[in-house]
Structure 1
Amino acid sequence: MYKEKFIHSPWVIGILFALWFLFIPPVIAIVLIMKRNKEMKKAEAYWKENNFDDVVNFKGKIDTLNEEIGNLTTRKEEIEQQLESYKPVTDAIEIRAALMKKIDELNTESEALSKQISDSSLLIDLEKSKETINKDIQALETKKSSVNSEVNDLRNQLILMNNELEMQSFGFYSPKYGFENSEAYQSKLNDIRQEQKKMVKDKTATFHRLDWTIGDDKRKGREFILDTIKLILRAFNNECDNIITKVKFNNVDASEQRIRKVYEELNKLTDMQQVSITSGYLKLKIEELYLKYEFEQKKQEEKEEQMEIKERMREEAKALKELEKAKEKVEKEEKHFEQAISKLQEQISETDASKQAKLLEKLRELEEQLEETRKNKKDVLFRVQNTRAGYVYIISNIGSFGENVFKIGMTRRLEPLDRVRELGDASVPFLFDVHGMIFSDDAPALENALHKAFADRRVNKVNERKEFFRVSLTEIEEVVKKNHNKTVEFTKLAEAEEYRQSAALEKERILEAV
């Protein structure tokens, strides 16, 4: 703007007018006023011609930029809060995109301001203002870079979180301890918790100083620090207990990260008091997390094992009961035929030779039946004495599990089809089809050989007690021949009567709808 000369100042002109009685001073004052107005108009025209008004507005724009940077910082904090509460990732990405767009706009405005300031460098009187503006712009650029960097960090955190949640959704977890039973896990858990209690009792769970003073009172300062220790440990323990209680296969890694985040946040809150939880105490809490998870997993496995043992015991009891009944039956039949033969022999000895032919024929029939009964008795006694004898069955259920999925199991029942019918109860929509029923003196060994041969084809690769395999019947035949020296017949085609009828009815329904 116009820089007023000394001679044109109002107080100089005022003095000249005060000397009006001399006549000449007022004339000079009028001339000075005219020159002052002329120079002011000239300066104003020069100012407008060179667009100096825009430069004057730079400070206002800088204030606007500062306000927008403040808004960006607020938005950044909102994103962090959303991340802490696990707000959907898409919302955070949209916010980040909006921030990036706003930052690009700020960058464009900053470049425009820099250009305008460069063009105004010819003004000597505004050189100082230009330097100030440049410094402000540099500060804004620095702040913009900082915000941009933090937004990128938030984006990386979101990407890592997405990857972590995706991996956890598949339930991949490698055991860290691998104890044999739940008692070992419980014992280790108790040891870990005792270590935690000892650290709290010995005051080694936190870093702290007890030489604080409040109003020159050391006792109050000490009590203040001890109360702070109690508060931070209580908060940390409560948070950890809540996380550990809810740990599952799909959130175990995220649970560890939550414990670490709580640890960092609580330590920041008590930074002024110079009180912080030690890394050793944090390590014990993380060990407790994984021990608790594996402990619950092991308990579930043991529960399933007990259920399987009970199921086998029930199956063995049914088989034994059937064998005992069969034994009683054949023994009764044997005794019956022996008595019948004895009576017939007495009758033959008392009958004339001319009438003995029919009786001898009847005697041969009874002796054949007795021999067959004794053979059956021998088989039954063998089954009773040999607890490993039984049937290995290969069955399918294409309506429930699809093609080329077979269940390979074992039963000691005298009537193995009874076991197959039990498996096809209300828990599956269709009955099982039998493709092979193999009697073996060592049925568990044959079953185990088949399971090992197709271990990599298990449908359930986690729970080996589920005996379903995705394999062809031809491959099963080959393994059976290698491990069984008797001829076995396999039924290739699955009858699947109910399934095929259901499929036909569904097809008919669709055609009628069309």
Structure 2
Amino acid sequence: MSLIEALPSDYGHIITYALVFTTISFLIHALLKSRELKLELNKIKSHLQDSEQKNVALLDKYQPISSIEDRVKELNAESDAITSNIQTLRASYAAKRKLFDELERELAVFDEKIELSTLGYYEPHFDFGTSDRFKAEITAVREQQKDMLKAKQAAVCHTEWKVNNSAREGQTMTNRALKLTLRAFNNECDAAVSNVRWNNIRRMEERLTKAREAIDKLNKSNNIQITEPYFQLKLQELRLTYEYAEKLRQEKEDRAEAKRQLREEQQLIKEQEAAAREQHKYEELVAKANERANKATGDELKRLKSELEELEAQLNEARAKSERALSMAQQTKSGYVYIISNIGSFGDGVFKIGMTRRLEPLDRVRELGDASVPFTFDVHALIYSEDAPALEAELHRHFNEHRLNLVNNRKEFFRVDLDELRAKLEELKPDVDFLTDAEAQDYHQSLLISKEAQTYHESKVERLPDEI
């Protein structure tokens, strides 16, 4: 008897149904799984078909290429050709750039607008004390040039040429070539000498050198050259002419400074005479007041005594002024050293350190702030000294590295820290009064007006439109 038969009839039916249900479920699951596998298989087939089509397309595309190695060789060859072409272009550019730079340098010799920074500072070659010495030296150099021309030593030919087998005709040809050579070179030199100035002296020196090189190069086939001694004489003439002009300018400035000092001396004498007259006037007034006081009584006497005291105070002031003026007139070194600034004209941190022998030093300051500068000067210190030139020279020496003008020492402007300037001044003159603040009233008011005008202009520009 089987296990199912042994069970009660109800349990047997249940187990039978369970087995049937399980079998059906398994079949359904298997059927679903079969469908999924079929779909996935179809996808794989489709993907394989796409891959085959792509492979066919790739094969068609790269069919002309026999092999990857051949294509790599072709690409390498193209790369090498491009690299070689780049190197050729670079070499060609370098050669042409070199030629361009040479032509530019040669052109710069004749260019009046060349940058000054490329010229360098000209160091004087001569140390003659006066312009007359320079003038005499120029004349002497020109005489030496004439002697060399007469002796046929300015340009020479190193070959004895023959023309039509004739030495005479060859010499005639050589003489003509030498004349043309010297005429061309002398014309270049004369043009340079006539136009030499402070801002082109270096360029003119180079111009003479280039002219000689160019002429010698053209004469290379004839074996003709400009001699070195003659060339040096031409350079010497050029430099002498330039330095002669500079010496004339310096002497002109010296004369102007001497005239200024003479005016100050004359002004000092006038001020001394005026102070003496003022003293004499008050002495007479005091004498007359004393006479009236001796005769007066009561209230009149009190009034005259009060008037007399006032006149005596004015007399004492006039005497002091007269004595100071007389002292400054007699002592040629006494005077005032002034330290002034002008922010509006020269910027912050720039000071002028100068000297005046005027009885009223502020007159000199006002004179400096005349129409030549847009704003007046502010005074930081006025120092009286019995040896004002020595005090001024010491300050100039100490701050020499801070000069604005490194060429002309008469331009007494220095860019220096205010505290450093005050410290040095207090070291030399401990009791000096030094004002650190620069009022610069006109300058600051001008800035204010300018800002207000700009603000007004901006407000006009940004106003609302009339219509929208």
TM-score (norm 1): 0.64
Q: How does 1:125-274 map to 2 (within 5 A)?
A: 151=96, 153-154=98-99, 157=102, 168-169=117-118, 171-208=120-157, 211-274=160-223
Q: How does 1:414-493 map to 2 (within 5 A)?
A: 414-484=359-429, 487-493=431-437
Partner of 1:314: 263
**Contact 1:209–1:225 at 8 Å: present in 2 too?**
no
Give, in whole Å, the separation in 2 of the partners of 1:476 and 1:148.
Answer: 56
Give, in whole Å, the separation in 1 of the partners of 2:350 and 2:85.
Answer: 64
**Contact 1:399–1:499 at 8 Å: present in 2 too?**
yes
TM-score (norm 2): 0.69
State whether structure 2 residue 356 is matched by structure 1 residue 411: yes
**Contact 2:275–2:318 at 8 Å: present in 1 too?**
no
State whether structure 2 residue 446 is matched by structure 1 residue 502: yes
Equivalent residue of 1:299, what SS? Answer: helix
Amino acid corresponding to residue 450 of structure 2 in structure 1: E
Amino acid corresponding to residue 490 of structure 1 in structure 2: F
State whether structure 2 residue 232 is matched by structure 1 residue 287: no
Are the structure 2 counterparts of residues 501 and 162 from structure 1 closer, same or farther at C-alpha, using a change threshold of 3 Å?
farther
Partner of 1:324: 273
Give, in whole Å, the separation in 1 of the partners of 2:437 and 2:121.
Answer: 38
Amino acid corresponding to residue 331 of structure 2 in structure 1: N
Q: Aligned residue pairs: how many?
A: 374
Are the structure 2 counterparts of residues 367 and 397 from structure 1 closer, same or farther at C-alpha, using a change threshold of 3 Å?
closer
> How far did residue 232 of structure 1 move?
1.0
Amino acid corresponding to residue 312 of structure 1 in structure 2: Q
Equivalent residue of 1:273, what SS? Answer: coil
Give, in whole Å, the separation in 2 of the partners of 1:417 and 1:201.
Answer: 64
Amino acid corresponding to residue 306 of structure 1 in structure 2: R
Query: Highest Rg: 1 or 2?
Result: 2
Amino acid corresponding to residue 280 of structure 1 in structure 2: P
Are the structure 2 counterparts of residues 257 and 200 from structure 1 closer, same or farther at C-alpha, using a change threshold of 3 Å?
same
Give, in whole Å, the separation in 2 of the partners of 1:367 and 1:211.
Answer: 102
Partner of 2:49: none
- What whole-Å deviation, never above 9, does each CA across 1:101-129 have from its counterpart, x for those lacking one? xxx999649x9xxxxxxxxxxxxxxxxxx
Amino acid corresponding to residue 262 of structure 2 in structure 1: M
Equivalent residue of 1:490, what SS? Answer: coil
Q: How does 1:29-44 map to 2 (within 5 A)?
A: none
> How far did residue 366 of structure 1 move?
5.8
> How far did residue 147 of structure 1 move?
7.3
Give, in whole Å, the separation in 1 of the partners of 2:126 and 2:250.
Answer: 15
Give, in whole Å, the separation in 1 of the partners of 2:407 and 2:164.
Answer: 64
2:295 to 331, 347, 351: 347
Give, in whole Å, the separation in 2 of the partners of 1:106 and 1:368.
Answer: 101
- What whole-Å deviation, never above 9, does each CA across 1:19-54 have from its counterpart, x for those lacking one? xxxxxxxxxxxxxxxxxxxxxxxxxxxxxxxxxxxx
- What whole-Å deviation, never above 9, does each CA across 1:401-424 have from its counterpart, x for those lacking one? 111211122222222222222211
Equivalent residue of 1:406, what SS? Answer: strand
Give, in whole Å, the separation in 1 of the partners of 2:266 and 2:429.
Answer: 26
Percent pairwise identity: 41
Are the structure 2 counterparts of residues 377 and 262 from structure 1 closer, same or farther at C-alpha, using a change threshold of 3 Å?
closer
Amino acid corresponding to residue 416 of structure 2 in structure 1: V
**Contact 2:268–2:329 at 8 Å: present in 1 too?**
no
Give, in whole Å, the separation in 2 of the partners of 1:146 and 1:358.
Answer: 107
Partner of 1:300: 249
Give, in whole Å, the separation in 1 of the partners of 2:253 and 2:118.
Answer: 23
Give, in whole Å, the separation in 2 of the partners of 1:428 and 1:458.
Answer: 19
> How far did residue 187 of structure 1 move?
2.6
Supply the RMSD in Å over aligned alpha carbons.
3.6
**Contact 2:337–2:355 at 8 Å: present in 1 too?**
yes
- What whole-Å deviation, never above 9, does each CA across 1:27-83 have from its counterpart, x for those lacking one? xxxxxxxxxxxxxxxxxxxxxxxxxxxxxxxxxxxxxxxxxxxxxxxxxxxxxxxxx
**Contact 2:271–2:325 at 8 Å: present in 1 too?**
no
> How far did residue 502 of structure 1 move?
1.0
Give, in whole Å, the separation in 1 of the partners of 2:205 and 2:357.
Answer: 48
**Contact 2:403–2:413 at 8 Å: present in 1 too?**
yes
Equivalent residue of 1:207, what SS? Answer: strand
> How far did residue 362 of structure 1 move?
6.8
Partner of 2:338: 393
